[in-house]
Structure 1
Amino acid sequence: MAATEHSLNIIRTAALAAADKLADNLVALDVSERLGITDAFLMASAESERQVNAIVDGIEEALIEEHDVRPVRREGRGLGRWVLLDYVDIVIHVQHQEDRVFYALDRLWSDCPAIELPTAAQSVASSGNEAATPE
């Protein structure tokens, strides 16, 4: 069973919010086939603890505003190294770049299908934190 449309909409909104805060390396995966407790993961990286927390704040604000959803669990906010936001249908991991490399969640879940993210999120994620230029 693939991720629901509701989950995909939340992932896309969260990805755009993360991109707006200049998150690096945005990756979304449909983990519904392998993990029965959630539909999808969104992973993002940041260069500093302050930026990790800014990305988390941006995601939470966007999801409340656009979908009226709040995380049921939030872990790691105090340290700002790896913040996990659990929305039941989706789980968001915002990690300091060093932790992202060390824990390698992308590799752990690499056999799960990727979820296509909105173009703005892809542009920011792939451009190394540079703003996307209009074409």
Structure 2
Amino acid sequence: MNILTQKVNMSLSPSPASPDSPTEEEALLLAQSCKKVILEKKGISPIILDLRKISSFVDFFVICTATSEPHLKALTFGLEQKIREELNLHPLHIEGSPKSHWVIIDYGPVLVHVFMEEERAFYELEKLWGDAPVL
């Protein structure tokens, strides 16, 4: 277990001061871990949008592109599995499927969007949330 894993594991555990919500730093560490896994799984153009100052429902979007339906399935499965193994976190919800060409993995303060190329270009989340800094 590396330092990042220890820090995220400890920090995302409920604490007496904030029983349900991780700190912004903890959410950032989770978003960075998701991006790292996406890169390991050959996801295309992963980015992290920092929504902390412009959204009341989420701190970060992690957005990436898959090259095919099997790749999208492998990315989402691999991401969920690796985050569970390394950080002991389970998604609150998963929406979409490889057939829909867009899957959202909800980790609370972090939403991971895995798109096929055409859907990513159509929905343009980076443009929609254009005020958000890209990390």
- Per the TM superposition, whether the score is higher than 0.5 is yes
- Aligned match of 1:38 in 46, 58, 65? 58
Aligned to 1:16: 36
- Aligned match of 1:65 in 65, 68, 85? 85
TM-score, scaled relative to structure 2: 0.79
1:98 aligns with 2:110: no
Helix, strand or coil: the match of 1:13? helix
Aligned to 1:85: 105
TM-score, scaled relative to structure 1: 0.79
Aligned to 1:108: 128
Taking structure 1 as reference, are residues 78 and 96 closer, same or farther at Cα in structure 2, changes over 3 Å only? closer
For 1:70 and 1:49, how far apart are their aligned partners in 2?
A: 23
In structure 1, runs of 5+ residues without a counterpart are 116-135
Higher relative contact order (CA 8 A, sep 6+): 1
For 1:54 and 1:100, how far apart are their aligned partners in 2?
A: 18
Conserved? CA contact 2:72–2:98, under 8 Å: no
Aligned to 1:49: 69
Q: Say which one has the larger Rg.
A: 2
Offset at residue 77 of structure 1 (A): 2.2
CA RMSD of aligned residues (A): 1.3
Runs (4 or more) in structure 1 with deviation over 4 Å come to none
Conserved? CA contact 2:48–2:62, under 8 Å: yes
In structure 2, runs of 5+ residues without a counterpart are 1-22
